[in-house]
A = this chain, B = another copy of it.
Amino acid sequence: MTPDTDMAVPAETISVVTSMIDAQDAVGLAAFIDLLEPADATLVVSRLEPTKRAELLSLLDAKRGAQLAAVLPESQAVEALSAIPPQVAAPLLRALPSDTRADLLGSLDHESAIAVLDALTTDEAEAVRTLTEYEHDCAGGLMVIEYLSYHAALTVQDVVDDLEKNADRYARFDVQYMYVVDRAGVLRGVLRIRDLLLTDHSRSLRTVMLTPPLSVRVTAKLPELVAFFEKRSFVGVPVVDEKGRLVGVVKRSAIQAARAQDNEKMYRLAQGIIGGEELRTMPLRVRSRRRLSWLSINVVLNLIAASVIAAHQETLEAAIALAVFLPIISDMSGASGAQAVAVSTRELLLGVTRPTEVWRAVWGEAWLGIVNGAALGVIIGGVATLWQGSLWLGVVVGTALGLNTLLSVCIGAATPLLLKRVEIDPALASGPILTTITDVCGFFIVLSLASLAIERITG
């Protein structure tokens, strides 16, 4: 690899690729794709017209097509796979690891998925169906089915012979570990390939394997798997069904990739990008519709908050200086609440807080809310007093911000845990819902206090 080769003219590269696609120059394209750095391939192919991208995938051989599909954003890969004939898509998918294959097939629309499954062999289709049946964030959804398993009665020599005979087919397999099963397919032990190397070839696997084998259940959830791999230095762990039968292998890298996805989703949701990853190459109407669906919830909730202000319009009219501080109270409380949401969301993901511990989270946050609320209240109260020349205005604004900070951090701490318990993504908590609650409370507190002290403020 030659590092640091920022392409000078991506636009030119894109037009070269496009004209090769138009000329159906399969050989040229294959050579060109091999030449590109993976990072440049991502950039160039992601910028092609969707139809060109699909044509490119169908012009390349299955292996290169699979490589390309793997470096594209998932939405683009899925779009291209739906657009190419199932007989072309099937071998491409076959060249991908089984977990990626199941992910992509699971994201295709029903009709395209069926067409591709029909083009796969019965065994392959069956395997994909099995994998897509599981939740994407449990061992079943994260495992691959490319593993080697042998019956316990076989000898080391039998394994060596099998490896030799099927060397090509196993080329894509991780064969650092092999698994030993009994007649019923129940996992009985683990073989390390390096141990085979050092062992008399006539011994039976039963006498060589490591027992008891560690394994995870097919239903094991992501946090359990993360903890499993953090405690142990294994590259992979066998997955068994409820009867102890070996059904797949979860690799360490799959767990890390799933964590990366979880964190990515957390960020995306917190920023109001709903309905999946957005790329600027997507059609404007899709992007606009998705964003608006989120913003329009925001509009409604904002109007609820604004109605609190409208209800106190008389107070505002009497002390117009309050209008200057309303957006500050809204924004500052929102920022404090977002911090509390982030800490709760992260603690859930790290496994140091359980969703049931709502009171613990609120308690841990309340003290901080008192300290930070007092600090911010004094600052803003002081500024208000000096700026508008009214001590009472300062007292009202400062007290309101202090109280609302306390409220915001408590609500912000609790919401992700409560959402988690009803299986809604905790990261959504920092969105409009929290903002609205803190706005309503903030506006209500400041305007109620002001109406109580209105004569002193205006006096």
Residues of A near any B CB (own CB < 8 A):
1, 3, 6, 10, 37-39, 41-43, 46-47, 67, 70-71, 73, 97, 160, 163-164, 167, 170, 172, 174-176, 193-194, 196-198, 214-217, 219-221, 223-224, 227-228, 230-233, 235, 251-253, 255-257, 259-260, 262-264, 266-268, 270-273, 277-281, 284, 287-288, 291-292, 294-296, 298-299, 302-303, 305-306, 309-310, 313, 316-317, 320-321, 323-328, 330-332, 335-336, 338-339, 341-343, 345-347, 350-354, 360-361, 364-365, 367-368, 371-372, 375-376, 379-380, 383, 387, 427, 430, 432, 435, 439, 443
Contacts and interface: CB of A to CB of B under 8 A. Distances in A.
Contacts of A305: 327-328
A332 B70 contact: no
A399 to B, nearest CB: 16
Mostly, the A contact residues are helix
Contacts of A215: 1
Given A288-B371, A352-B46, A310 B335 contact: no
A3 B323 contact: no
Contacts of A323: 309, 313, 316, 320, 323, 326
Contact of A228 (B38, B196, B263): B38
Nearest to A217: B3
B71 A302 contact: no
Contacts of A220: 1, 3
A3 B228 CA distance: 11
Contacts of A97: 233
A233 B350 contact: no
A212 to B, nearest CB: 12
Given A71-B231, A217-B1, A227-B38, A43 B354 contact: yes
Nearest to A266: B267
A288 B170 CA distance: 55
A268 B327 contact: no
